[in-house]
Amino acid sequence: MNPVIAVVGAGFSGSMAALHLLSALPRPWSVLLCERAGSFGRGLAYGTDAPAHLLNLRAANMSAYPDQPEHFSAWLAALPEDDRSGIVAMPAGTFAPRALYGRYLAELLTQGVVAEGAPRLHLVHDAVTDLVPVADGYSLRTEGGAAYSVAGAVLAMGNLTGPGAPPSRHRLDPWRPEAFGRLHPDRPVLVVGTGLTMVDAVASLRGRGFSGRIVALSRRGLVPSVHAPTRPWPVPDLRADDLASLTRLTRRIRAEIATARRAGRDWRDVIDALRPIIGYLWRSLPGPERARFLRHLRPFWDVHRHRAAPPAAAAIAAEIAAGRLSVRAGRILAIADGPGGAAVTIRPRHGGADETLAAQGIVDATGIGRIDETGDPLLRRLVLRGLARPDAFGLGLAAGDDYRLRATRPGRLWTLGPLLRGTLWECVAVPDIRSQAAEVAALVATEVDGLPAARRQAV
């Protein structure tokens, strides 16, 4: 057996899993870290170079290591003055540009490579397209035609980009904002989605010289709320009764917020207090209630739970006040593509006549894609072969508490991060993933400890 564990994807999840694996795996085990994008360590979230794209979490919550909460703040504080210009310190906390966070992660990875040397951490700059089961593990295949023999793999493919909706040849990808610079500066642009990706897209459009009108559309037209100073609030004491249905749980949380308000506290204190138990709440709710949450409550939860950094929220508020951005609740009825743009017919949510907007471009800010919509060849093949299966809601992959994929053909495949959304729900942000990375590495190490390659080394 080749004593190698592959990690597919080198965003935050994969990079941290790889670093923890290096410390946890017995020698001679090594790690093959595979990334298809231009750089290692940054992933979709921290690959941006726009200074206006700030972290959505305070720097104090963004340490890469669960046992060193000050690690990122100390790294920021040690930066030369010239590199600190984008960092915003305010009463609600300190918010750093996401590009700086990407640099922090890339540095951690470089330190890992330097400390361990090439034989133990091998970086593969290629997309993984298949993991073919072989006698004692998998043959990992890449787009570039390479094949590596590995004993197991951690899938850290993170945030799946959507299927490319809305269907229009004028669709613009918010993750490739270079195209924004080619827009006519004055003709309207439609952004589909009104969450944090919309906030980024508006900043990118303005940052690239677009001065025209922006219309942002989503079913409910809700925009993310803003971070404010918070104080610890006790974790609500929930009874089994409260978890019997979504209605009861919502009522109970609303009552907790009302209690907090009477005590002069902010709703954010209560939402933040729920954070450590969200996974437990998710798993405790009956399946149909979880499905109801996804259908009806999720947009409301998202705008309260995933808040914008104050400067980002202020920029959106100023855009709206100046009439440069209008946020609409409604849905797209039709898109008619023309040579210089699309005529988009919108039905308002709260009645009124349908409206047709002439947009030169349509930014798809609908957010993270679902597993059953992904065109990713690796995921599709794993599912087809019964080595992986979507979770009950099609958001990510089905996995157990040990992060191992639940599939028809069980194997040595683990996952972490956003691919666990349907299983854990609260698993997409750094404070969740950093613990998962340490845990999954320890579990993989325990598993390989009993395998022939480890035993060979021990004798």
Ligand X SMILES: Cc1cc2nc3c(=O)[nH]c(=O)nc-3n(C[C@H](O)[C@H](O)[C@H](O)COP(=O)(O)OP(=O)(O)OC[C@H]3O[C@@H](n4cnc5c(N)ncnc54)[C@H](O)[C@@H]3O)c2cc1C
> Can you give the binding site for ligand X, defined by CB under 6 A?
8-14, 34-37, 43-45, 55-57, 127-128, 156-159, 200, 376, 378, 417-418, 428-430, 433
Q: Which residue number, 46 or 335, has a Cβ lying nearer to ligand X?
A: 46
DSSP states along 305-335: HSPBPHHHHHHHHHHHHTTSEEEEEEEEEEE
Q: Where are the alpha helices (DSSP H) in 31-81?
A: 71-77
Pick the closer one to ligand X by CB: 12 or 233. 12
Specify the residue, 238 or 388, whose C-beta has the smaller distance to ligand X. Answer: 388
Which residue, 34 or 190, is less far from ligand X as judged by CB?
34
The C-alpha atoms of residue 266 and residue 261 are separated, in whole angstroms, by 6
End-to-end CA distance of the chain: 16
Q: How far is the CB of 358 from ligand X (least distance, A)?
A: 29
Report the residue number, 310 or 341, with the smaller CB distance to ligand X: 310
Distance in Å, CB of 199 to ligand X, minimum: 9
Query: In this structure, are residues 30 and 3 in contact, taking their beta carbons and an 8 Å threshold?
Result: yes
Least distance to ligand X, CB of residue 428, Å: 4
CA dihedral 179, 182, 186, 190 (to 10 degrees): -20
Looking at beta carbons only, is 101 or 293 nearer to ligand X?
101
Nearest CB to ligand X, comparing residues 8 and 453:
8
Q: DSSP 3-state assignment of 413?
A: strand
Give the DSSP H/E element, type plus range, for residue 113. Answer: helix 98-116
Helix or strand run (H / E) with residue 214:
strand 214-218
Q: How far is the CB of 54 from ligand X (least distance, A)?
A: 7
Distance in Å, CB of 156 to ligand X, minimum:
5
* Closer residue to ligand X (CB): 83 or 143: 143
- Shortest CB 382 distance to ligand X, Å: 10
Q: Is 218 in a helix, a strand, or coil?
A: strand
How far is it, in rounded angstroms, from Cα 400 to Cα 423?
Answer: 8
Which CB, 46 or 210, lies closer to ligand X?
46
Nearer to ligand X, 270 or 428 (CB): 428
Shortest approach of ligand X to residue 198 CB, angstroms?
11
CB of 325 to ligand X, least distance (A): 19
Backbone angles phi, psi at 138, to 5 degrees: -140, 150
% helix / strand / coil in the chain, to the nearest 5? 40, 20, 40
**Structure-token pair, residue 339:** 């040579």
Q: Which residue in the shown chain puts its C-beta closest to ligand X?
A: 158
Q: Between residues 140 and 344, which has the closer beta carbon with respect to ligand X?
A: 140
Provide the minimum distance between the beta carbon of 259 and ligand X in the complex, in angstroms, as a whole number. 28
Choose among 411, 410, 383, 412: nearest CA to 396: 383
CB of 72 to ligand X, least distance (A): 11
- Give the shortest CB-247-to-ligand X separation in angstroms: 29
Distance CA 64, CA 69 (A): 8
CA separation for the pair 412, 153 (Å, rounded): 7
Q: Is the dihedral of CA 61, 67, 70, 76 positive or negative?
A: negative
User: DSSP letters of 334-395?
Assistant: EEEE-SS-EEEEEEETTSS--EEEEESEEEE---BPPGGG---HHHHHHHHTTS--B-TTSS
What's the min distance (Å) between Cβ of 151 and ligand X? 18
DSSP states of 146-190: -EEEESEEEE---S-B----S--TTEE-TT-GGGGGGS-SSS-EE
* Distances, alpha carbon 219 to alpha carbons 203, 214, 225, 294, 307, in Å: 22, 17, 17, 14, 19
Q: Which is nearer to ligand X, 39 or 284 (CB)?
A: 39
